[in-house]
Structure 1
């Protein structure tokens, strides 16, 4: 799906921050200044969305997960919805320190959730005292709130997609340490050099976030569809071989 500059304009993607708050490294993406606010060059934004989308589609097609990170109020629900639609993990509550750099510990916490669920299914939970059950329930609720959306992420993600790199600076640092590619919406008050794939855009308005995320999730969905098509084609190719095997065996027996 081609990115139209007009639709970006209508969503307010072009509104940057106050000029006095800008990061000079964003200069290549700034079109002009109006009423003390920097205006982002939407032609560059459109090109960068397509570039990022192509790279994300490749990662999705390879079978790796893309972790979405957005803990700011106006982005939370949008990210949860868009990432959820394409079955990708996301963090919309506080970033758990060591989420990437100490992934083994995070996985243990996720497994703890699973073990509590098993306890409830097999009846072990009811053998606990009322006080213990209350404690276990509280722990389960806390884990669900912070880590519920990453239960299917059994290994480190193939990429990070971030809304507001200033706010999510801990996530950015962890990804950098592990050389995990970073895709992000970058506003005029942030340093784009921290990101591998920069999408210059207003990261404060929900309309702008929704518009960018729609394009990004659509590109990832395309990569997932490509992966599924390849798997289906591979399964079809293997089916005749499986049928042919007994025939070949019978021929060998006839020759004897």
Structure 2
């Protein structure tokens, strides 16, 4: 397993070092901060770099062992990239609103996925041809809605083994579900987040698109290289 090369220049150039306004900070993030500039906290990327490496090493090892990964990122500026990277790496993802119970009540999620797949099958085989045009339109809209929320997790046969989260504060409900099931969480934690809930914290800007894309590309690379390895 080759070590992933992390570029500090790439991180700085993408704005990974900018945190939130100092008045919004979580004191638990203090150890990861270099200082502040114009009322904004600045991350110490010298400390962030080995934490990214540690998280990716864990991801590589887990992928080699056949563990199931779920990527969660619902922010507007990154949701398309989340889907792209997850599909490329062949892992599950959520890039729309996190639905409560996705981990803690997975049986209900599976029922919704089964309903979606059954409706899609019925649509493709012409089963709904006997329905009125309006009824078929409503069914089609329901399929689209279900695909939007469950399309990224439809291949999951059980709860994921690892949760990778972009913006752990925003996705705190998902983090709590993972914590409750003892599922390791790799998370991008900004200066306003609580790192104690995250097994493998990556302290950096969780809003900058380029920085998030850089990390997601690394995740895809690591998972792809270590799958079936």
TM-score computed with the length of structure 2 as normaliser: 0.94
Alignment partners' CA distance in 2, 1:184 and 1:78: 16
2:99 corresponding residue in structure 1: 96
1:35 corresponding residue in structure 2: 38
1:122 corresponding residue in structure 2: 125
Shift of 1:216: 2.0
- Structure 1 unaligned runs (5+)? 230-256
1:244 corresponding residue in structure 2: none
- Are 1:49 and 1:215, in contact at CA under 8 Å, matched by a contact in 2? no
- Are 1:75 and 1:163, in contact at CA under 8 Å, matched by a contact in 2? no
2:167 corresponding residue in structure 1: 164
Alignment partners' CA distance in 2, 1:220 and 1:45: 20
Work out which of the two has the higher radius of gyration on C-alpha atoms and give 1 or 2: 1
Shift of 1:80: 1.4
- Structure 2 unaligned runs (5+)? none
Alignment partners' CA distance in 1, 2:124 and 2:80: 31
CA RMSD in angstroms comes to 1.3
TM-score computed with the length of structure 1 as normaliser: 0.85
* Mapped pair 1:75 → 2:78: yes
- Are 1:52 and 1:197, in contact at CA under 8 Å, matched by a contact in 2? yes
Cα deviations by residue, 1:129-168 (Å, 9 ceiling, x for unpaired): 3333222212111101111111111111111011111111
Shifted more, 14-23 versus 120-129: the winner is 120-129
Q: Which has the higher helix share?
A: 1
Alignment partners' CA distance in 1, 2:123 and 2:15: 48
SS at 2:142's partner residue? Answer: helix
* Mapped pair 1:212 → 2:186: no
Cα deviations by residue, 1:7-53 (Å, 9 ceiling, x for unpaired): 11111111111111111100110012222111101111110111000
Alignment partners' CA distance in 1, 2:79 and 2:208: 12
2:56 corresponding residue in structure 1: 53
